[in-house]
A = this chain, B = another copy of it.
Amino acid sequence: MRPREFDHDDVLRIAFDQFWRNGVRGASMSDIARDTGVQRGSLYNAFGSKEALFLQAYERYAGDYLAALQKALGAGSLRKRLTAFFDLTVTNFRSGTPPRGCPTTRGLMELGAAEGEGLDEDARQAFAGLISRITALVQDTLSAGAERGEFNGNPAAAALHIITVTRGLAVLERAFGDEPQLRKIAAHTIDLLLGRTGG
């Protein structure tokens, strides 16, 4: 066999940065080839297609991001946990120069048809999978908070509400790019769920 001349993980990292900054459709295989120093044909040989390359790169990101969220949700009062969760979310959306937004939300809205039909069903499942896992983390945190008497509502409904707000923040970030506004909305959401005082 002839050995590969590039590092698999390096390519995934560099490719994902391209996808994140320019979108899956906006990033071209030529761009990725230029940035990685790997020729376009080699990328196709190694990954099969642009979508397959994206999926691998996305799974890498999803794992890292989920771990960071889990850590943010894991310490302090419920209010502190949720605050850390939203902080990390907004910071993630606003990372990069210029800010890159939310890759999950962007990827989701870039898809072809709706669920069921659609060629990029694999991508949709990857995006939906991360959202579901984040929702589960939040719900667990709320349930634990409820047992400690820090929250008295429906953890499932509240988690769904929170994930909805985070997706909305991703959209407003693209519309207005107003980071203080995003943080105000996040704080307001926590107040709505836990009450304005103490919590």
Chain A residues within 8 Å of B, Cβ to Cβ: 21-23, 25-26, 98-101, 105-106, 108-117, 124, 127-128, 131, 157, 160-161, 163-177, 181, 184-185, 188-189, 192-193
Contact = CB atoms under 8 A, between A and B. Distances in A.
A124 B175 contact: yes
Contacts of A166: 168
Contacts of A172: 131, 163-164, 167
27 contacts: A21-B113, A23-B110, A98-B113, A98-B114, A98-B116, A98-B117, A101-B109, A105-B109, A108-B109, A108-B174, A109-B109, A114-B173, A115-B174, A115-B176, A124-B175, A157-B188, A161-B185, A161-B189, A161-B192, A163-B168, A164-B168, A164-B169, A164-B185, A167-B170, A168-B171, A192-B192, A192-B193
A184 B156 CA distance: 11
Contacts of A101: 109, 114
Nearest to A102: B109
A181 to B, nearest CB: 7
B98 A175 contact: no
Contacts of A165: 161, 164-165, 168
Find the residue from A106, A128, A131, A172 having the highest chain B CB count within 10 A.
A172
A111 B174 contact: yes
Nearest to A113: B98
A97 to B, nearest CB: 9
Contact of A168 (B99, B167, B173, B174): B167
A163 B165 CA distance: 9
B170 A26 contact: no
Nearest to A99: B114
B114 A171 contact: no
Given A115-B177, A127-B175, 18 more contacts: A22-B112, A23-B110, A23-B112, A26-B112, A98-B113, A98-B117, A101-B114, A108-B171, A111-B174, A116-B177, A131-B175, A160-B181, A160-B188, A161-B185, A161-B188, A161-B189, A167-B168, A167-B172
